[in-house]
Amino acid sequence: MEIDSTLTLEQELIALSREKWRWMAERDGDALDALFHEKAVFVHMGGAWGKAQELDIINSGGIHYKQAEVHAVSVALIDSTAIVLNRITLLAVVGGNEVTNPFEVTEVYVQQEGSWKLAALSFTRLLTPEQPH
């Protein structure tokens, strides 16, 4: 039986993305530090910054990603780069206030030395009802 390696990679990336949401909810700084590329960028509604600041925000509770409800996910593979799109409803605590927002989240992963590293994470707030990819 021949295994479709593209499908396997897509499944691997979807699983990794779901783990990332869990690690963010649990504020697992060690797992996130290992996942985030040293040159990673993070784009939020309040600005853009690098790995160190994102880890500081998560570890300090500046943003607590309590729960990401994933409605749809897709993966596009381009050589050793993967783009994962997640349509989510995010329950978060920001500055002590609990907020819920619909987002399309773009995650860019690069494969280095046999493992995937998150190179970019960008949140785009949605103004329209949920639609599948």
Q: What CATH number does the domain containing 24 carry?
A: 3.10.450.50
* Residue 133 in domain: no
Cα gap 18→1, rounded to integer Å: 28
Which residue reads 């349509």 in tokens? 87
Examine the pLDDT at 123 and tell me if it is beyond 60: yes
* Residue 132 in domain: no
Question: What letter does residue 96 receive in the DSSP assignment?
Answer: T
* Residue 103 in domain: yes
Question: What letter does residue 104 receive in the DSSP assignment?
Answer: E
Cα gap 83→105, rounded to integer Å: 10
Name the pLDDT band for 7 (thresholds 50, 70, 90). low
> 13: closest CA among 111, 124, 125, 126?
111
* Cα radius of gyration (the chain): 15
What share of the chain in percent tops pLDDT 90? Answer: 80
* Residue 65 in domain: yes
Answer with the residue of higher pLDDT: 117 or 61.
117
How many structural domains does the chain have?
A: 1
> What's the pLDDT tens digit per position in 32-74?
999 999 999 999 988 999 999 999 999 998 899 999 999 999 9
* Residue 83 in domain: yes
Range of the domain at 13: 5-125
- Cβ-proximal residues to 109 (8 Å cutoff; 6+ apart), any chain: 13, 16, 81, 82, 83, 84, 116, 117, 118, 119
* Residue 131 in domain: no
* Residue 72 in domain: yes
* Residue 99 in domain: yes
